[in-house]
Amino acid sequence: MSSEVTIASDFPAKIGGRTKYVDDLHLPGELYGGIVRSPHPYAKITRVDIREAQQVAGVKAVITGDDVPHHAYGPTVHKDWNILACDKVLFVGDEVVAIAADSPDALRQALDKVVVEYEELEPILNPHAALQPGAAVLHEAAPDNRPVKIEFERGDVDKAFAQAHIVRSGRYTTNRIYHGHLEPIAVIANWDEQDGLTLWAGSHIPYRARETYAAAFGLPEEKVRINVPPIGGSFGAKYVLKVHVIAAALSMRAGAPVRIVLDRYEDMLTAHPRVPLEIDIRIAADKDGYFLGKDVVVYGDAGARIYWSPNVLASACTRADSLYRFHNVRAKGNLCYTNNSPTTCMRGFGNAEMLFAVENVIDELAEGLGMDPAQLRLQNIVHRGDTTIGGYHLDSCELEACIRQVITLSGWERRRDFKKYHGLGMAIGNHVSGYRGIDPRFDGSTAVARLLASGRVEIETGEIDLGQGMSSTYAHIAARVLGIDPSLVTVQSGDTGRYPFGIGTLASRSTVMGGNAVKQACERLRNELADWVKQHYGPTAVLTGGGVEVGQEQHSLADVARDFTSCHGGDAFSVKETYTPATELPDKTLYGNPSPSYPFAAHVAEVEVDPDTGRVKVIGYWAVHDAGTVLNRPAATGQVVGGVAQGIGWVTMEDFKVSQGQVQNRSLLDYRMPGSSDVPPVTVEFLETEDPNGPFGAKSVGEMAIDPVPGAVSNAIAHALGVRGHDLPLAPERLWRIMQEQSQV
């Protein structure tokens, strides 16, 4: 048997266009749903007139905020969502009226006939304005417009800085970017008095979505079922969405299934982009380059309601503290409500943002000390066996080896001989393999392993495949335990009414959490099956990968499955196992060991900058990762290459522009994303070791892939220009201005 999965079983269907996404599904009698949205960032609703819309032929339901429940709900502890706005709108795109009709034409006519009158209010457009005395209060539960405030200090930061030989500091800002998923946001909802609410929606946390949506309507969770068809990309955009709730409300009113599929224009209007952060940072070191302390103040723009921005802020304030031995750290984090579109998580989850700042300041420290930036990193990084200042237990860590390997692969020493406008930059990163703080109640995963009548093995999991290759990884884990080929394993997930509970695919948790559950379930299936075949075929019966051997007789797994089913009233041989990691819920200061294992990586980028235009061309990229044992090399490599491409786009071109609360670039023609010519060949290597807590020693890869990219590319640009950019993106216009300012100096 091969030690690695080759091609996931769903690849041929995807490549051949046969995969059925939400938009490809249809229910008998379904209606088309649409939403009337606010054109203003902040306004009172003074009048809503839906009478003409109700008269349009084919319209089956028109609902306003007066027609829906008003229970406190939301995906986190901040219950600030509504189904439809009643008295005020809080951002451009806020939902005011929803309509269901039997045709797209009738829907469009009805949407146009809705009259909503507003009294515009002065909007709050950034976190600092939100915190001003006398600023309008957007949600009563946060009278200072700051729903999340983080403050902690470990050690004595002031003393550390007082003793420092060198301090480097700066204000770094990271921008909104669009997730750029190919599949549009879509949902089909169906309400049935007997069965309750059923949704077909691309969510990678369907059980948390079920909890949130049930609360919205005051329903018990067993009356809500989420089906997740194949997802065409997410990167954090498809956790829980208001459009799902609105489709459900329409279905309840109309008594028929309702589908809502956003076109790209509406998707980008209401997109919940990456949380923009403003980071004031300073790092102190002694004369030999050993770090003494780190001090950060972070402001985050949550927009008008809370999605997952609190977790983004927490990661930004803490994660880098477990990458280096800073010895003394302090963080102050402020997440503020504004009248911008709500922001949420995106690959990297606050860690990539903070590493952009940290890795730039470390290069500045190296310049000030006259040291090689790589050497400065090597003498300050964490190592295996450390319990970090943030409380992480590093049972495995090959970060030093990653740095040394990327130095070799990239030809790091070449940078000394580069001419101006040609640069080589390094950055490193760390991440988690699941995060206990996501859901303090439970952090594990459950899997069912079943021997089917055909002799195939079926795995059921509550985790979700977003296209990242989770299913093929689970198939490989099952096959490795059972001694069969991965092609004989089917992985099922994505139905809260059928498959076991799972937290979902976030915080890079699927390989370790879900993978451990699959491994445990298959080990139990193997052991119990071995016992049963001895009972059934005799004490000399031996279970092998392909079936059972009894002397010279052989029975296939299909024979075994049929014999077992015949002896047990039609039941299949099935077991269920739950993996519960020994993680710690971070305390109020965010100290703790929140993950079973921690991946690391070192990246180097090579760039050329056009002095006339400021355009950056990334001409080389090297990424070395410590992901433990690599279970699915094609998928893991694809994750790294994809993360690097996404990061290059973020640093050099992508910018979700918002002015006065209005999105300025609401189409993919106006929102520049990297194409193949913008991404160089990426050299990817894995330094394989076995982490004691991962399935067969595996750790996560997905988010780790992007974490070092902003730092590596921006450091390469700074090396090329001799001057540093502090604000993302480092697009041509911004770099051109930086170069002009430099020349004037």
Query: How far are the Cα atoms of 425, 579, 584 from residue 285, in angstroms, in the given order?
Result: 21, 42, 31
* 234-251 pLDDT tens trace: 999 999 999 999 999 999
Judge whether residue 545 has pLDDT over 90: no
> Hey, CA dihedral for 489, 495, 498, 499, is it positive or negative?
positive
In 468-514, alpha helices (H): 470-482
Given pLDDT bands bounded at 50, 70 and 90, which one contains residue 195?
very high
Judge whether residue 736 has pLDDT over 90: yes
- Yes or no: say if 99 and 37 are a contact pair by the CB < 8 Å rule: no
pLDDT value at position 11? 77
- Yes or no: say if 672 and 492 are a contact pair by the CB < 8 Å rule: no
- Yes or no: say if 455 and 488 are a contact pair by the CB < 8 Å rule: yes
CA nearest 150: which of 346, 316, 278? 316
Q: What is the DSSP code (8-state) at residue 510?
A: I
pLDDT value at position 2? 33
- As a whole number, mean pLDDT of residues 118-146 equals 98
- Yes or no: say if 721 and 738 are a contact pair by the CB < 8 Å rule: yes
* 138-193 pLDDT tens trace: 999 999 999 999 999 999 999 999 999 999 999 999 999 999 999 999 999 999 99
Distance CA 293, CA 328 (A): 4
- As a whole number, mean pLDDT of residues 376-394 equals 98
- As a whole number, mean pLDDT of residues 596-623 equals 98
Distance CA 94, CA 91 (A): 5
Residue 153 has a CB neighbour count (10 Å cut-off) of 15
* 446-479 pLDDT tens trace: 999 999 999 999 999 999 998 888 999 999 999 9
Place of tokens 């993950």: 595
Judge whether residue 6 has pLDDT over 60: no
Please name the amino acid found at residue 69.
P
- Yes or no: say if 363 and 377 are a contact pair by the CB < 8 Å rule: no
- As a whole number, mean pLDDT of residues 38-60 equals 98
Please name the amino acid found at residue 603.
H
- Phi then psi for residue 678, to 5 deg, are -90, -10
pLDDT value at position 5? 38
**pLDDT above 90 as % of the chain:** 94
- Alpha-carbon radius of gyration of the chain: 27
* 296-350 pLDDT tens trace: 999 999 999 999 999 999 999 999 999 999 999 999 999 999 999 999 999 999 9
Given pLDDT bands bounded at 50, 70 and 90, which one contains residue 9?
low
Q: What is the DSSP code (8-state) at residue 339?
A: S
pLDDT value at position 7? 47
Judge whether residue 8 has pLDDT over 70: no
- Yes or no: say if 260 and 35 are a contact pair by the CB < 8 Å rule: yes
Beta carbons within 8 Å of 410's beta carbon, 6+ residues apart? 424, 604, 606, 620, 622
Judge whether residue 4 has pLDDT over 60: no
**Average pLDDT of the chain, as a whole number:** 95
Query: How far are the Cα atoms of 649, 682, 709 from residue 676, in angstroms, in the given order?
Result: 11, 12, 17
* Domains in the chain: ranges and CATH: 26-121+196-231+238-262 (3.90.1170.50), 277-436+587-744 (3.30.365.10), 445-579 (3.30.365.10)
Distance CA 127, CA 148 (A): 12
